[in-house]
Chains A and B, each alone.
Chain A
């Protein structure tokens, strides 16, 4: 069965601090895909990144970086030098097509508040 755990329900940081959002996943499949989405206060869900299970290379995009480690089944998200605009709920999600499923399994989300 597929499962995504985001143990951090809420995090508050002061602007310019670095923050890491944790994501741990479970799947029996060898091929799978991991995603991060951002949900700002306006409510829409914004796609941030997609990573497949064969690519453990870390990704950096501006102030955002992602650390994928299959050994610990984790796909953590770090924001460097946080800004107030980063305040949002962040969701980690898993898709395991080998089981025939095209749908995403979402974690419960981490609410990040960046204090000016």
Chain B
């Protein structure tokens, strides 16, 4: 299995620009998670989906952030407009919720820098 795939791996953009992060979960997994990691706040959950449906988006910082999962094999996290404080590493993870082994497997992350 290829594991969780994220793109791009690195993104540098200017304040005010739209940023779209992409994630392909492990085939067969039914849960997908978006996390953000910063030095100040550590690892924090932004949103997660079960069977393509958003279940908990309480971690989404504000309306500038939005996430979609149009099908079981693809999800996006969009920031519009981006701000310097959005600079962080964004991880996508997937798991098989409801199974005996439901640990989350993480993608390599996208390092976002907003200038």
* A residues whose Cβ falls under 8 Å from a Cβ of B: 33, 35, 37, 43-47, 50, 91, 101-104, 106, 108-109
Contacts and interface: CB of A to CB of B under 8 A. Distances in A.
A36 B42 CA distance: 15
B50 A50 contact: no
B14 interface: no
Given A43-B108, A47-B104, 13 more contacts: A35-B103, A35-B104, A43-B89, A44-B107, A45-B91, A47-B103, A50-B103, A102-B31, A102-B95, A103-B48, A104-B33, A106-B43, A106-B44
A43 B107 CA distance: 10
B101 A104 contact: no
Chain B interface helix/strand/loop/mixed: strand
Interface of B: 31, 33, 42-45, 48, 50, 55-56, 89, 91, 93, 95, 97, 101-109, 111
A45 B43 CA distance: 11
Contacts, number: 45
A70 B109 CA distance: 33
Rank and list the top 3 A-B pairs by shortest CB-CB distance, nearest first.
Answer: A45-B106, A106-B43, A50-B103
B72 to A, nearest CB: 16
A102 B50 CA distance: 9
Given A47-B103, A103-B33, A109 B42 contact: yes
Contacts of B50: 102
Nearest to B106: A45
B25 to A, nearest CB: 14
A91 B108 CA distance: 16
A102 to B, nearest CB: 5
Contacts of A106: 42-44
